Amino acid sequence: MTSQTLDDLIADGVRGRHVLVRSDLNVPLDGTVVTDDGRVRASLPVVQKLVEAGARVIVMAHLGRPNGAPEAKYSIRPAADVLRTLSGLPVVVAGDVVGESAHALAAALGDGEVLILENVRFDARETSKAATERAELAAELKSLTGDNGAYVNDAFGAVHRRHASVYDIAALLPAYQGDLVATEVRVLKTLTDAPKRPYVVVLGGSKVSDKLAVIENLLGRADHLLIGGGMAFTFLKAQGHGVGASLLEEDQLETCRGYLTRAKEEGCDIVLPTDFVVAERFGADAAHEVLAAENLEGGSFGATGLGLDIGPVSGDNFASYIRSANTVFWNGPMGVFEMEAFSGGTRAVAGALAESEAFSVVGGGDSAAAVRTLGFHDDDFGHISTGGGASLEYLEGKELPGLTALEGVAK
């Protein structure tokens, strides 16, 4: 089955109707300051489209991981303030999820106005493993829309969750796929169904265990798999190299050996860094030096040295693979990019992607934050995904509950 689209909903007519929109406003915060507004910007077009069509828009979103109860530090208000500022729309924020404030403000909404509910994860039923509890919350969310409501899922970053506002609500209201979700699915289908070759995948981040399934699924699809970040050290150790005090997952050594063997059989070239920036300790001002991958314990800091970035030779090498590719998927930074001394590898990858004419996808999460932190713009890349975890699970070949729900098979 195929999902109904936002255009289908608007064609049916939305003026005067309450439309529940699941958006992704899960932005990083420094106190109450939004440090990366990318997800808010990505959520705006669907909200604006509905407003222009005369809908009474009720936005549901989560922020962070509150423990099923209100926590001031996870209030949706900072993200809502950014949405209001960027859009200039009439936006009000409820003081709760489905309580008195939400009901009163929903009832008072006029055509073309926007209500943002408080962090939906302040209600423990949102993420409950009990279907009956999630269904109860979904019914209360539906009640905010009156007799002629509709539901739009535009939160790709949440479609891999079987949550009330993502999965269960779609069984209670006419459900539609938002434009952002549609774009993400179309882009990821290109990566899995018919990537133009050479196809280069760049994986970073801290842990191999976070990327096991995506490596498994991409070994037979990608031509070159470039591995950086903390996860590279487990691969190096699997090859017999010492890695000092660098991040290491001992329980994944055999898995990495298996991947290295399988890659040769599948015709996929696993490319590991040949040098690293090794620090005396974890800190922006830590003494550091560049060491060859086979000599990480032979430098000034001996076996206590801590690898915090791929080295300049590796950065150049990774960049050359990217420049020669026709399709590139990147997920995970190459080092501790937040610290200038250890940002070079991530900057090299981002710069090569920005210059590349390949079909390129930056896989959300830390990668998206990294490119913006390092001064790149969204327009420099083919596509920046809003869903790190969801993107990976899609590439792993997993079924995503939020997508199946839109296809009318929620149970």
Catalytic residues: 39, 207, 365, 389
Asked if residue 26 belongs to a known ligand binding site, the reply is: yes
Q: Is 220 labeled as ligand-binding?
A: no
**364 touches 388 (CB < 8 A):** yes
Tell me which residue of 86, 149, 372 sits closest to 362, measured CA to CA. Answer: 372
DSSP-H helix ranges across 194-251:
212-218, 232-238
Is there a binding annotation on residue 315?
no
Ligand-binding site membership of 39 (annotated): yes
| 65 known member of a binding site | yes
User: For the chain, what percentages of helix, strand and coil (3-state, to nearest 5) are there?
Assistant: 45, 15, 40
Half-sphere exposure of 297 (CA within 13 A, CB side): 12
Cβ neighbors of 195 (< 8 A, separation 6 or more) are 221, 326, 327, 359
Measured CA distances, 314 to 146, 229, 343, 353 (Å): 58, 11, 13, 15
* Residue 211 labelled as part of a binding site: yes
Question: What residues contact 349, with CB distance under 8 A and at least 6 apart?
Answer: 202, 204, 228, 315, 318, 319, 322, 330, 334
Known binding residue 355? Answer is no
Cα separation of 134 and 103, whole Å? Answer: 19
Whether 307 has a binding-site annotation, put simply, is yes
| Residue 357 annotated as lining a ligand binding site | no
| 204 annotated among ligand-binding-site residues | no
User: Does 332 carry a binding-site annotation?
Assistant: no
Tell me whether residue 402 is annotated as binding: no
Sign for the pseudo-dihedral over CA of 299, 300, 303, 308:
negative
CA of 60: how far to CAs of 56, 104, 410, in Å? 13, 16, 19
Q: Is 347 annotated among the ligand-binding residues? A: no
Is residue 24 a known part of a binding site?
yes
Check whether 62 is labelled as a binding-site residue.
yes
Q: How many CB atoms lie within 10 A of CB 298?
A: 15
Residue 25 is assigned to a ligand binding site = yes
Q: Which residue's structure tokens are 């209360």?
A: 140
Pairing of strands 175-177, 199-203: unpaired
- Cα angle 267-271-273, degrees, rounded to a multiple of 5: 170
User: What distances in angstroms separate CA 201 from CA 176, 198, 321, 343, one per listed residue?
Assistant: 32, 10, 10, 20
CA neighbor of 364 nearest in space, from 219, 222, 193, 188: 188
Buried-exposed string 131-156: b where 16+ CB fall within 10 A, e elsewhere: eebbbbbbebbbebbeeebbbbbbbb
31 is in an annotated binding site: no
Q: Which residues are annotated as a binding site for (2R)-3-phosphoglycerate?
A: 39, 121, 161
Binding site residue list for substrate = 24-26, 39, 62-65, 121, 161
The binding site for ATP consists of 211, 307, 338, 364-367
